Amino acid sequence: MPNFTDTPLDNIVELRNISQSYDGGNSWIIKGLDFLVEDKPAQGQFVVILGASGAGKSTVLRYIAGLQRPTEGTVLVKGKPLGEAPRVGMVFQQYSSLPWRTVLDNVALPLEYQGVELQERQSRALEMIELVGLAGHEHKFAQYPTLSGGQLQRIAIARSLIANPDILLMDEPFGALDINTRLQMQDLLMEIWHRIHPTIIFVTHDIPEAVYLADDIYMMKPAPSRFTEHVHIDLPLSRDRETKRSQEYIDLVRLVEDKMIAITST
Ligand SMILES: Nc1ncnc2c1ncn2[C@@H]1O[C@H](COP(=O)(O)OP(=O)(O)OP(=O)(O)O)[C@@H](O)[C@H]1O
């Protein structure tokens, strides 16, 4: 579990002794939660959060994105408290693009808010569009069915990375996609991770997906929630469909499943 005193590196995310109540402290959804993600510059890392429905996984991402403050406890992003910390984007399960704007304008939106001038924001947006495999689609409107569900999620990833390429928060981002698109998006995420090395914090209910993508998996016990289990995924950094057939992968999926069953049945 997180050890705040022995960390040699800066931390990209620290949640300390977080508690969350929505009824003035009569009941607690989250109690005494600690979560620490070390900064690994030029390397990044892929952290997956698992937990039962309602455990508070989305809430944890909302704290990091600055969308919600906990009832108690401290949230630090790159060592800075909420309000002073750099803005971090988030990719949701629901498509979140503005359908009346083009792909280019949707991706460039965070730069527009920051007041970056037109030419620079368009050229940076085009780089991100290329990174997420949408080159050739930049002048299409960001709406279904002009673009597919997977393409709309690519826009959300590009928009999030343009705002802050160091951290990418993803809340069940592939939950609404068909299986083929979901597998393609997993591989795209791996590719992005190898190219620009962000720290990705990813929530999913899908244990095989978690093991395929993660460096580290943290699991939340329910009611009141906190992180109680951590599994380091000791698979090769470069993963592909063959990885999913390896005995190490199959054993890790079983280990994580067993831990999740134990956590959620206590
Ligand atoms: N504004 C609110 N008022 C009251 N309860 C809330 C509020 N927001 C969240 N909750 C409760 O907090 C708990 C954690 O919610 P959260 O969405 O973080 O869970 P989750 O682990 O992401 O769930 P799921 O896997 O189902 O998406 C849930 O029980 C939810 O009902």
CATH code of residue 49: 3.40.50.300
What distance in angstroms lies between residue 64's CA and the mean position of ligand 1's atoms? 15
Establish if 40 belongs to a structural domain.
Answer: yes
Establish if 178 belongs to a structural domain.
Answer: yes
Domain span holding position 46: 11-89+164-264
Task: HSE, CB side, 13 Å, CA atoms: give it for residue 169.
Answer: 22
Q: Is 236 exposed, middle or buried (0-12, 13-18, 19+ CB in 10 A)?
A: exposed
Task: Return the ligand 1 atom nearest residue 56 CA.
Answer: 18
Establish if 75 belongs to a structural domain.
Answer: yes
Task: Pick from 59, 93, 170, 219 the residue to mutate for probing ligand 1's pocket: most ligand atoms within 8 Å of its CB.
Answer: 59
Q: What is the pLDDT of residue 5?
A: 44
Residue 55's H or E segment, with its range, is none
**Is the Cβ–Cβ distance between 204 and 50 less than 8 Å?**
yes
State the ipTM, two decimals.
0.97
Establish if 123 belongs to a structural domain.
Answer: no
Establish if 157 belongs to a structural domain.
Answer: no
Which residues are bridge partners to 11 per DSSP?
Answer: 38
Averaged over successive runs of 10 residues, the pLDDT of the chain (266 residues) comes to 51 95 96 93 90 94 94 94 84 87 96 94 96 96 93 94 90 91 92 90 96 96 93 92 94 97 86
Strands (E) across the chain are located at 11-20, 30-38, 45-51, 72-77, 80-81, 90-91, 167-171, 199-203, 216-221, 226-232
Establish if 151 belongs to a structural domain.
Answer: no
Establish if 94 belongs to a structural domain.
Answer: no
Establish if 127 belongs to a structural domain.
Answer: no
**Is the Cβ–Cβ distance between 44 and 198 less than 8 Å?**
yes
**Is the Cβ–Cβ distance between 195 and 25 less than 8 Å?**
no
Total domains in the chain come to: 1
Q: What is the pTM of this model?
A: 0.92
Q: What is the pLDDT of residue 9?
A: 57
